[in-house]
Structure 1
């Protein structure tokens, strides 16, 4: 499954925050559960698993008896002629008598039974089918992990946009109030047209950014609906981000041997080991039992409903068949050699995966710690920038500072808000990445 990266939404949010609370909001857990229940990708994986389960039953069939029925009808206008030595009937030696042995019409009906008594490849094939089932079960789990990660990534992106929307709307309200005050001051001769124009540009730029981000937010909601297999026209809202969700660092617990990618490699090794055994089984004999029982009817002319003497004559046989390879030009030997090398390569890959898994966890834990510190710092910076903005607005209304100071402070507040939301989403990204690295996204 394709992984959707986190997007740090730089810019400002759009209007409409007040409508969020009028609609049903889905928690991350609810979105995740819906996705796990309804995902089309998981439905496809489930069908693959069902198909693999059917292959196990197919493998069983090689160990069961085969029973077949057959019949034939043959009419020969001219029965084949054979020659018989004349001395068989007292004639001179070296001469032959032509004779037609048989009749023109022959009908047969036969039931045949075959049963493998010893076939190493059939037994190995059954074991391999069961290993494939276990491998497909792990593939389903891997798809579930990817789905949970993608739902979380999309959910947090939407939450970050909601938070930016809230902050930007506050700033937009302040800018519009300041613009109204400055317009009144212009009319009273206490401000210049340039002051009004600069504030108007600031307000319009903020509105334009809100409109742009509205489009981005809608796309993320559409992605979330696709992941949950919900109609695009259905209304979905996420729960607003709560700052108390950013807590202490989690414990660095991790079992590298239980990660899905490592378990998948072990299943591949089991399957490859069986393939090696199957190649070696090419040296072993194949023994099977067979039995036949049938009836034949004869007639001298073409009449399917008549038999000579009005009878069918029975015939039966039973026996063993076996085949033993003697020399194959060393084909099996070198096939087995190649498979041995592949098994050695898997052992090396297993060590690499364990190392990579441990490295991913260590890096993810370090990223989470760093992002937590950054988030706490940016949270303080945002509170300070908001206080400075409030002070500057009050000073401007009192005529202490110029409108350029207000615009500069607004830009600083914008930067602080962007940094805060960026730090927030980076922390949630690092948190999800740590869970994914540890293999704990699923219960």
Structure 2
């Protein structure tokens, strides 16, 4: 009991804090809840950032085909000047016996103490087969990133739908529990009056009190489950847990039918997984083309323009007249001749990867067919159970009503009333469990047929 009081105090405190902060309730239908989640779920924001990264990668690859221009300024001190050997004949003086003799070599310093170089380089890719195919592959990868985001959106819609239906079912169950408590409390008060008048026994009153106490405990448990289901819905929507929400959809308005969910002419492309596999196949084909294009030549246009200077005194380098101008422009062609069969084996790998992707279509089609059949069967079974539990609930309500009338008229026992009420609560529990199972099966079938999120 202390735990229950503590829970109630905590709820009151949180409610008071929310009111003090001026928070107002937000209303959501199922579709509004899904739309809110699609805009605010952090996981989807990550997916959309991945899309932006993919677009930036396209720009990065495209930049490789644009002119590449660089500027370099280099000034240095050759503190150990490099020397070269020259034949002694160059320095031989017949009149000087100490001069270098023929056959000897004399080290000579050609490198000045200080050098400088200022150059502007530019290059332009004229033709590269791998670049062109890589650009197409980057764009296709962007499409794959978008489809991956779409797949995540469908998963979020599934999670929000199931959580939303869970709250609706728990809300209806709470209303029934309140009605049960009111009805049983009325019977208890009537039984007390009958006991005071000597018509009923104290045992009858005690039995009803026990049953009412158990029902109140069940309501407390249901309330906690209700709060938990709302917290789960807020989490799936990406909304602050402290934000009060009100659901506008009614459980009775939800249409649950196998025919309504299953499309007449099913197209595998409705499933985002199939579309993703198509894009993966396109990427595999581009990868194969990219490997083959490695045998094509590459053509570049190169240009250089700059100045250089050299002197044994640093001050002389700083003077403009000591810098010598030079320039170059030309083309370059790269011809692949032999790479040890590396590209040959890369092409083999790419071809096999493409074949595996094509085989994946048949596996995916079979998987989708199985998912649809399984989900349709689950929904059909759930609807059959729901019809049975609905009939059981109607019978239990009628039995509880008759038992109450018989007891009030003195021709029935108090034990019949309690038993009937217990059976009624069990029938209600079974009925709402069947409703929830049917709703979950409906969402699973919608996902299997690709109709869960159509916008």
TM class by smaller structure: 0.7 to 0.9
Distance 2:110 2:211 in 1: 111
1:341 shift after superposition: 2.1
Higher alpha-carbon deviation: 327-336 or 51-60 = 327-336
Distance 2:348 2:211 in 1: 73
- Aligned residue for 1:303, secondary structure, equals helix
- Aligned residue for 1:399, secondary structure, equals coil
Does residue 276 in structure 1 map to residue 284 in structure 2?
A: no
Distance 2:236 2:369 in 1: 29
TM-score, structure 1 length as denominator?
0.87
Does residue 413 in structure 1 map to residue 424 in structure 2?
A: yes
Q: Tell me if the contact between 2:256 and 2:439 (Cα under 8 Å) persists in the aligned partners.
A: no
Q: Tell me if the contact between 1:115 and 1:290 (Cα under 8 Å) persists in the aligned partners.
A: yes
Gaps of 5+ in 1: 1-13
Q: Partner of 1:256 in structure 2?
A: 268
When residues 86 and 227 of structure 1 are mapped into structure 2, their CA distance, relative to the original with a 3 A threshold, is same
Q: Tell me if the contact between 2:25 and 2:243 (Cα under 8 Å) persists in the aligned partners.
A: no
Distance 2:423 2:106 in 1: 120
- Aligned residue for 2:313, secondary structure, equals coil
Q: Tell me if the contact between 1:82 and 1:100 (Cα under 8 Å) persists in the aligned partners.
A: yes
Q: Partner of 1:4 in structure 2?
A: none
Q: 1:35 aligns with which of 23, 34, 37?
A: 37
Q: Partner of 2:96 in structure 1?
A: none
Q: How many residues align?
A: 424
Q: Partner of 1:241 in structure 2?
A: 250
- Aligned residue for 1:116, secondary structure, equals strand
Distance 1:206 1:175 in 2: 9
Q: Tell me if the contact between 2:307 and 2:323 (Cα under 8 Å) persists in the aligned partners.
A: yes
Distance 1:358 1:304 in 2: 83
Q: Tell me if the contact between 1:75 and 1:105 (Cα under 8 Å) persists in the aligned partners.
A: yes
Q: Tell me if the contact between 1:172 and 1:203 (Cα under 8 Å) persists in the aligned partners.
A: yes
1:312 shift after superposition: 1.9
Q: Tell me if the contact between 2:379 and 2:442 (Cα under 8 Å) persists in the aligned partners.
A: yes
- Once superposed, what is the RMSD of the aligned Cα atoms? 2.7
Q: 1:69 aligns with which of 68, 71, 79?
A: 71
Distance 2:103 2:256 in 1: 110
Q: Tell me if the contact between 2:270 and 2:449 (Cα under 8 Å) persists in the aligned partners.
A: no
Does residue 392 in structure 1 map to residue 403 in structure 2?
A: yes
Distance 1:204 1:142 in 2: 48
TM-score, structure 2 length as denominator?
0.85
Q: Partner of 1:348 in structure 2?
A: 359
Q: Tell me if the contact between 1:299 and 1:307 (Cα under 8 Å) persists in the aligned partners.
A: no
Q: 1:383 aligns with which of 394, 405, 430?
A: 394
Bigger RCO (CA 8 Å, 6+ sep): 1
Distance 1:380 1:81 in 2: 107
Distance 1:25 1:376 in 2: 31
Gaps of 5+ in 2: 1-7, 16-23, 94-100
When residues 138 and 58 of structure 1 are mapped into structure 2, their CA distance, relative to the original with a 3 A threshold, is same
Q: Tell me if the contact between 1:103 and 1:298 (Cα under 8 Å) persists in the aligned partners.
A: yes
Distance 1:278 1:340 in 2: 11
Q: 1:203 aligns with which of 207, 212, 218?
A: 212
Distance 1:337 1:102 in 2: 53
